[in-house]
Amino acid sequence: MAKANKQQVKEAREFLQKNVQKDDTIFFVVKRVSNSGMYRHIDFYKFDVKDTFEEGENRVRKVWLSSAIAKVLGYSFKEQTQSVGVQGCGMDMGFSVIYNLAHNLFDDGYALKHEQL
């Protein structure tokens, strides 16, 4: 995927601002790790659970964030796994991306919680 242009970044940022609030928990799944362990494909989601719902209606809404996160933070997006390409090791790279997202959206790297699925 080619690098996102300014309009795509703006739209992705608006999407994230609409769907991610301070203190939300962002969930992630590591879909692939390189043989060297230095590169990962990580998929990011947020889940909204409704307190009230009607029969037949979904109580849980899944919001896929990976593409928007890649555009806003300048990470590569991996079409094959529909995930964010993240380089690095020696720390929780899912946390690293979520910390950078929280810093970008709220000027506070700890404004979002994270959990690996």
Percent of the chain with pLDDT over 90: 75
- Residue 13 confidence (pLDDT) above 70: yes
Mean pLDDT of the chain: 92
pLDDT band, residue 2 (cuts 50/70/90): low
User: Looking at residue 59, what is its pLDDT?
Assistant: 81
pTM: 0.88
- CA distance to 7, 8, 45, 100, per residue, from 74 (Å): 14, 11, 18, 11
Q: Residues 100, 105, 111, 116: is their CA dihedral positive or negative?
A: negative
What is the 3-class SS of 2-16, one letter each residue?
CCCCHHHHHHHHHHH
Q: Given this model, what pLDDT does residue 99 score?
A: 97
Is 37 a residue whose pLDDT tops 90?
Answer: no
